[in-house]
Amino acid sequence: MSDFELGPIRPPSETRSLPVRVTRNCPWNRCKFCRSFKGQKFQLRSLEEVKQDILSAKVIQDRLLNLSPRFDRDGLREIEVGAFEGQPNQAVRTVANWLYGGGRNAFLQDGNTLIMPVNDLERVIRFLKETFLGINRVTTYSSSKTSARRKIEELARLREAGLSRIHTGLESGYDPLLAFMEKGATAADHIEGGRNVVASGISLCEYVVLGLGGVKMWREHAIETARVINEIAPEFIRLRTLVVTGDMLLHQEVLSGNFVRMTDEQIIEEEKLFIQNLNCHSNLVSDSITNLLHEVEGRLPDDKDHLLGIIDRFQSLDPVERDIFKMGRRLGVYSHLDDLNDPDQSEAIERIMAGHGQYAEQKLNEKVVYELMERFIR
């Protein structure tokens, strides 16, 4: 069966999308908090390469539909266990996953796809939609700086071709922090690029990293990031919580003491300040497993008080309850604050903390929290 090339990452919201690798890796690739493409060289793929991958995915789709027209759980399981031609490869699994999700969305990989020449990218999108008539949403990544370089008319052409949404890693709106993290963009770049996308009619999703300011710059990070977001007014604001792993450049800054990581409680205070300063019409989304308060989601400004109320509820818990929730969330047991209402689960989590020496003098060891969070992105 045909094969096609796959990139390493895509947003959680694109888990069921068909990935089409248009570029390889990231042209900047210097951010201290990112490890996705480290050691990998950026490459533009040729139009013919990308078209061939799209055709290969089409061959797989047609073959799968002949083998199992039912893309419910049973139909997908037939593919997962290798009911045909031996064990399915990753490309087959990817197309099966896409069909299981409805077969309507596609995501153009890798880290900054909008850097591709507009004419070529437009042709890719049109060819993709001509090949898969059922696709009605096409999304991709772009850096703020690349979006800023694109004319609104160029972006509008891509929208007309079928580009529905652009995902952008804003991360922070505080210039000293952006410089420290070697983001390669300024607050002004974020604003210009974001406004270009919004003006073109393409849906914009901006990503903000909670905890990125560390103990030293958390307040400025929260306030200035909210200011920049307000200037852009993206359709979506997606929150991510910083996780530092040993293969990140930021890890060396932690070891040297130049960057001091925040506790969960400190990050929640930062998140609170960020939301308090938001004054835009956007959807706030907290769909990352790294976020402590997954339920802080809603439409701004209408749900602002509700979102802050969730944070207040966490902060009003007694210290032991907060630690139990933190541990339960990082173990993957809890997803919402209401989960604390199950006394059996709470007692089980307390026993885990005590039994592994993770809870001493009524205080959870933050190092344990960091280690548990690292598992989420390995």
User: From CA 83, how far away is CA 275, in angstroms rounded?
Assistant: 49
- Integer angstrom CA distances of residue 224 from 114, 143, 171, 221, 364: 26, 19, 11, 6, 31
Assess contact for 247 and 210: CB atoms under 8 A.
no
Question: Of 194-198, 310-314, 369-373, which range is least confident?
Answer: 369-373
Q: Is the model's pLDDT at 84 over the cut of 60?
A: no
Strand partners for 43: 24
State pTM to two decimals: 0.92
CA-CA distance, 266 to 273, in Å (whole number)? 11
Average pLDDT estimate for 47-62 = 95
Answer yes or no: is pLDDT of 79 > 90: no
For the chain, percent of residues with pLDDT exceeding 70? 92
Q: Which residue has the higher pLDDT, 69 or 205?
A: 205
What confidence score (pLDDT) does residue 302 get?
98
Report whether pLDDT(82) > 70: no
Give residue 83's pLDDT. Answer: 45
Task: Specify the pLDDT at position 148.
Answer: 98
Q: How far is CA 364 from the centre of its chain?
A: 28
Residues of the chain with CATH 3.30.750.200: 142-152+162-316
The predicted model gives 266-274 an average pLDDT of: 99
Question: In b/e form, how buried is each residue of 259-292, taking b as 16+ CB within 10 angstroms?
Answer: bebbebbbbbbbbbbbbeebeeebebbbebbbbb
Place of tokens 């852009």: 232
Mean pLDDT across the stretch 140-157?
A: 98
From residue 372, give the alpha-carbon distance in Å to each of 184, 331, 345, 365, 367. 30, 7, 18, 11, 9
Q: What share of the chain is helix, strand, coil (3-state, %, to 5)?
A: 50, 15, 35
- Calculate what percentage of the chain has a pLDDT beyond 90: 72
Q: How far apart are CA 25 and CA 72, in angstroms?
A: 33
pLDDT of residue 144: 98
In this structure, of 113-117, 133-137, 153-157, 368-372, the range with the lowest mean pLDDT score is 368-372
The highest-level CATH class for domain 142-152+162-316 is alpha beta
In the numeric block, the tokens 């939301």 are attached to 275
